[in-house]
Structure 1
Amino acid sequence: MKIFSYDNKGNKSLIEFDRFTFSGGEEHVRFNPEDFLATVKVEIFERLINSSKLMRLMLAVDALRRLSHDAISIELVIPYFPYARQDRVCVEGEALGSAVMASFINNLGFSKVTIWDAHSDVSPALLKNIVNVSQISLLEKCDELRQRLARGELALVSPDAGASKKTMKIAEEFGGELEVIQAQKIRNLKTGEILKTDILGEVEGKKILIADDICDGGRTFIELAKALKKKGAIEVSLFITHGIFSKGLSVFEGLIDAIYTTDSFRSAEEYPSNSKIKLNIIEM
């Protein structure tokens, strides 16, 4: 977690603070009051990827409010919105995870909450004072990828129907000149296993960019890359806003040639390296 203080002239400074975990598992956060004498606004940046970070966030907000007697504005930047994929109740008895997380954030009373490339329209609709940074805005920060798209080197592939809207927005950003090819996956509804991936277009001899918002284990992109290479694609790249890569990068070897992602889920130095895959981290 990073805490930034702003004074009334807009000057921004990083605040150091103490935090630790007690032996019983309880989190502790403590600030130095003197660091906030000229503060009119605080911005908290955090990658909320586990429950300990959620607890520390709640403690930090409480400490800051007590310290300032609620006199300062507190903003939150959480690039990756946790539980965003749990945006519907598929089976009776399940929780609506995105609503639970949104309620947690809303109850902390932030004056602004910034997230990057929401998984669907559900999370932004549930959050108060929300700013949703678009995937296009993030892509624009990567000069190499932006230039390749501007030159028309890459054909866009949407991995499934859910990603089609995002893929079309990328094409529109570059004047609608980029070719967009739709893919669709057929799953076993009981196991979730991908049985088949169909490519609804011609990819032979083309350099392909697959675009989506989240890559976790990567099964969708592995199966799609296999189908693209089988159909004659000469290069397959992947642009993912939130690169979780829970199975590492080795699972993409021989299939994905380059990966572009942001530092939303972890800092650039924490990403795994792989000599066979070109990894480009867009640092914000």
Structure 2
Amino acid sequence: MTVFKINTQGNKSKASLQSFTFSGGEEHIRFDPIDLSDAAVFEIQERLTDSSEIIRLMMTVDALKRLSNGNIPIELVIPYFPYARQDRVCVEGEALSASVMAGIINNLGLSKVTIWDAHSDVTPALLNNVVNIPQARLIGRSETLSRSLSNGDITLISPDAGASKKTCHIAEAFGGETNVIQAQKVRDLKSGDIVKTEVLGNVEGQRVLIVDDICDGGRTFIELAKVLKQQGAIEVSLFVTHGIFSQGLSVFGGLIDTIYTTDSFRTAEEYKNLSTQKNADNCPQLTVIEM
């Protein structure tokens, strides 16, 4: 976790804090002395990728409010919003996890919450004072992708119907020169396995870029890349805002040539370590767009 004090001139300085876990499992936060005379706002940056980090965030907000008597606004930057994938109740008896997490964040009383490329419209609707950075803006931080999309040198692939709207917005954001092709997948309703992937357009001889918000194990993109290669795509790249990559990167070897992601879920150094694990020779080239 990183906490900044932003002064009245807009300059940031990092606040020093100590965090540790008691033997009973309780999380603890303690700030070193902070000069509050010119403080205009506090900004917390955090990757909420496990439950202990959520508790530490709550403790941090409480500590800052006590330091300032609640008189200094607190902003939060959490590029990856946890639990966002469960944004509906599919089976009776489940929790609506996105709503639960939004409730926790809202109860902190923050002046602004910045997230990146929300999984669906549900999360921004649930959060108070939210700023959702769109995927197109994040892609724009890559000079290589910006140039290819602006020139129409690469074809955008929407991996499923749910991603179609955002994929079209990306094409529009870069001038509309880029062609967009829709893909769709058919799942076995009992097992959840993908049994068929279709690409509804011609990709022969083209460089293509699959775009989506999250990559976990990567099965959707592996099956799609197989079809794209079979249908003649000469280069397959993937942009995912939130790269979890729970099965590593070697699973994409020989299918996806380049993967672009941001450091929303892991640090750039952690991604570097991930790409040098076993079977690294079979890994795609990885480019990380940093916060």
TM tier, shorter chain? over 0.9
Q: What is the match of residue 139 of structure 1?
A: 139
Q: Could you tell me how far apart the structure 2 residues matched to 1:216 and 1:160 are?
A: 16
What is the deviation of 1:238? Answer: 0.1
Equivalent residues in 2 for 1:256-271, closer than 5 Å? 256-271=256-271
On the 8 A contact 1:159/1:183 being kept in 2, the answer is yes
Q: What is the match of residue 285 of structure 2?
A: 278
Q: Could you tell me how far apart the structure 2 residues matched to 1:277 and 1:9 are?
A: 43
Q: Could you tell me how far apart the structure 2 residues matched to 1:122 and 1:128 are?
A: 12
User: What secondary structure does 2:34 align onto?
Assistant: helix
Q: CA RMSD in A?
A: 1.0
TM-score computed with the length of structure 2 as normaliser: 0.95
Q: Could you tell me how far apart the structure 2 residues matched to 1:206 and 1:140 are?
A: 21
Q: Percent identity?
A: 66
Q: Could you tell me how far apart the structure 2 residues matched to 1:191 and 1:35 are?
A: 57
Q: Which amino acid aligns with 1:34?
A: I
Q: Could you tell me how far apart the structure 2 residues matched to 1:149 and 1:279 are?
A: 19
Q: What is the match of residue 113 of structure 2?
A: 113
Q: Could you tell me how far apart the structure 2 residues matched to 1:279 and 1:119 are?
A: 22
Q: What is the match of residue 196 of structure 1?
A: 196
Aligned length: 284
Q: Could you tell me how far apart the structure 1 residues matched to 2:66 and 2:170 are?
A: 44
On the 8 A contact 1:187/1:194 being kept in 2, the answer is yes
- Residues 141-199 of structure 1 deviation map (CA, whole Å, 9 limit, x = unaligned): 11111112222221111000000011101111222221111110000111110000011
Establish whether residue 77 from structure 1 lines up as the match of residue 84 from structure 2: no
On the 8 A contact 1:33/1:67 being kept in 2, the answer is no
| Structure 2: segments with no counterpart, 5+ residues | none
User: What secondary structure does 1:212 align onto?
Assistant: strand
Q: Which amino acid aligns with 1:223?
A: E
On the 8 A contact 2:183/2:197 being kept in 1, the answer is yes
| Structure 1: segments with no counterpart, 5+ residues | none
Q: Could you tell me how far apart the structure 2 residues matched to 1:247 and 1:172 are?
A: 33
Q: What is the match of residue 65 of structure 2?
A: 65
Q: Could you tell me how far apart the structure 2 residues matched to 1:206 and 1:40 are?
A: 51
Q: Could you tell me how far apart the structure 1 residues matched to 2:35 and 2:287 are?
A: 36
What is the deviation of 1:35? Answer: 4.1
Q: Could you tell me how far apart the structure 1 residues matched to 2:39 and 2:171 are?
A: 43
What is the deviation of 1:80? Answer: 0.4
Q: What is the match of residue 238 of structure 2?
A: 238
TM-score computed with the length of structure 1 as normaliser: 0.98
